[in-house]
Every structure is written in structure tokens, then in C-alpha cells.
Amino acid sequence: MTTAVPHRPAVRSGGAPRTRPARRIGVVAGAVVVLALVVWASFALGVRHIDPGEVWRAIVAFDPADVDHKIVVEQRLPRTVIGLAAGIALGLAGTLIQGVTRNPIADPGLLGINAGASLAVVCGIQFLGVTSPIGYVWFAFFGAAAAAAVVFSIGNARPVQLALVGAALTALITPLITLMLLGDTETFNQYRFWAVGSLTGRGLDAVAVLWPFLVAGAVLAAVLAHRLNGLALGDDVARGLGQRVGVTRGLSGAAIVLLAGTATSLAGPIALVGLVVPHAARRLIGSDYRWITALSVVLGPVMLLAADVIGRLLAAPAELEAGVVAAFLGAPVLIAVARGRKVAGL
């Protein structure tokens, strides 16, 4: 007599079902569709709603005499492109930081990057009279890079030390910024518009300046993604697998500087996007950093552009800044992590 054996999916040598890659591809494809819808919403929705057909005509056959065309091309196109670029940078930077530090609440703010960028912008405004958004870009970028360089050099690329040094640097810089702003009302008035985090008030000229840094950081993140899987198992295991842990962390630090510096320069110190996106990717797609990295490229701009669109609709005819809305969207995730919920892969 034979006993029927229930059917089981074919399994690879690593123990994962063969259908797993197909499911992951499906998740990434679904995220791309969501991104396309959010990009459409960024062009079409706001204080003035514009028909999708008119949006397309504005892009392919711009008529400067048409009010809708001017809104699409001169206002919504730059903020959409900036949202895409900054969202990609924040998603990848958050993924790298969480992978390198093995810290589930790590984001660019944890390493003092936002504080460094903010201090540099304040100095540029107060001492050099910088007033234009394109002028803020360079100060923010180099301030973020300097802060990250200090943190990685002092922290010896060790997870706990990186977090502690980043927190200490932020604690040191924040009072300095406050003192400078309290002593100069004009500097404060200019700084507060940048510090809230927004996709408005910037042009495509800022993207034209910074896109090489974004591309370089994204390429580095893609190359390092498989190494983060080794780091997730611990330094000793990673070394046992033949990985040079110090080199991996050093290259990751360089990528974080490029990505976080670009995002902060373009959109200001937007909080929680770099924290939420890797968590969402991990929940949707598993703990393989190669897939987390790929999905974060899509989910980063989804979250940032969605925050921008929601801010336009909630406060119409005024607007809520994207940084404010992103903080509200990301706060529940931060609370869940702080309460000790298990995060897959960490």
C-alpha cells in the first residue's frame, strides 16, 4: 500500500522555494507601478488639478501661453524630478546605514549627516550671504560629507561606535546652530525654509549639479549589496566567508556620504524616509540586501513624492512641506521599532 505524499515546491540548495525570485520580482514590479501612479499624481494633483492628457501635452508640446502647461513644466516637473532623485538617495542611504551598523533605527540623521549639512548651510547664510537654493546645495553637500567623514573616522567603522559618535556629533552641532540662529533673525528666516525639508523652491539646476554624486553612490550601493548580507551575520562570520569587513564598511561610508549628501542638498534634512523605506522593503521582500537595495530604489521616491502630494491636498490652497508629512508617515514605524517588535533580517 502506498501513502500519498503532499506536493511540496521544489527547493534550491539554500532551502528557499524556487518561486521565491518570481515573487520578489512581482513585488518590485508592483512597486514600480505604484511609483508611476505617484509620479502621475505629482504632475496632476495640487491646488490646481490638471487632466492627465493635458499633463502629457505640456511635456511633449509645451505651450508657454497655457497656464496648465506652465504649472506642469515650471513648477511640478522640477519638484517631481527632485523627489525622484532625493527619494532614491534616501532609500539607498538608509539601506546602507542599517546594513553597515546592523541598527534597525539607523538613518542619515543617526550619523550626524543632517546636523553637519544644517551647520554648513547656516554658516553659508550668515558668513557668506548665500541666499539661493543652488547656493545651499554645495554647503549642504560638503557639510554632510564632513560630518560623515568625522563619524566614520572616529567610529572605526564599528556599528555601536558609529551610532554613538553620530549621536554625539549631532548633540554638539545642534546647540551651535541654535546659538547662531538666535543671534541673527535674517539667517533664521532663510534657514527655516530649507530646514523643514521640501521639494519646492529648488530647480532642475540643482539636479544637474548633483546627479553624478547620486549615480556614483547608487552604483556603489548596488556593488556592495551582496556584502551587506555577510555583515548581517556578524563581523566574525563575514570574515570567515572571506569578506574584508573594514573595506566593505569604508566603501559603504563613501556611498552613504554621496547619497545622503545629495538627498540633503536637494530636499533639506527630511527625516524618517531613510528609516522607513528599508523596513518596508525588508517586510515585503525578505532579508536579502540585494533585493532590499533594488526595492528601496523604488520605495524611496514613492514615499517622498507621496508625502509631497498629500501635503498639497491636505492644506489646500496652502501646502504642507514634504518633510513634515514624511515625518507623520514614518513616525508609526519608528514607534513600532522602539517598542521592540521583531524586524526581519536584523
pLDDT per position as a tens digit, 281-310: 988 998 899 999 999 999 999 999 999 999
Could you tell me which residues come within 8 angstroms of residue 182 by beta carbon, excluding any fewer than 6 positions away?
188
Residue 295: inside a domain: yes
Report residue 206 as a C-alpha cell: 540643482
Residue 217: inside a domain: yes
Residue 65: inside a domain: yes
* Secondary structure (3-state) at 22: helix
| pLDDT score for 340 | 58
For residue 324, the enclosing domain spans 33-338
Residue 20: inside a domain: no
Residue 67: inside a domain: yes
* Secondary structure (3-state) at 64: coil
pLDDT profile of the chain (346 residues), mean per 10 = 46 47 91 96 91 91 90 93 96 92 78 87 88 80 86 73 85 91 84 82 86 94 92 80 82 88 87 89 90 96 95 85 88 71 45
CA distance 252 to 246: 10
| pLDDT score for 157 | 59
Domain count across the chain: 1
| pLDDT score for 1 | 47
| pLDDT score for 338 | 64
Q: What is the CATH number of the domain that holds 166?
A: 1.10.3470.10
Residue 193: inside a domain: yes
| pLDDT score for 2 | 46
Report residue 283 as a C-alpha cell: 517586510
Residue type, 10: A
CA distance 264 to 118: 9
Residue 25: inside a domain: no
Residue 240: inside a domain: yes
**pTM, to two decimals:** 0.86
Task: Give the Å distances, CA to CA, from 88 to 91, 104, 110, 274.
Answer: 5, 19, 19, 10
The count of C-alpha atoms lying within 13 angstroms of the C-alpha of 176, restricted to the half-sphere facing its C-beta, is 15
Asked if 340 and 115 count as a contact pair (C-beta separation under 8 A), the reply is no
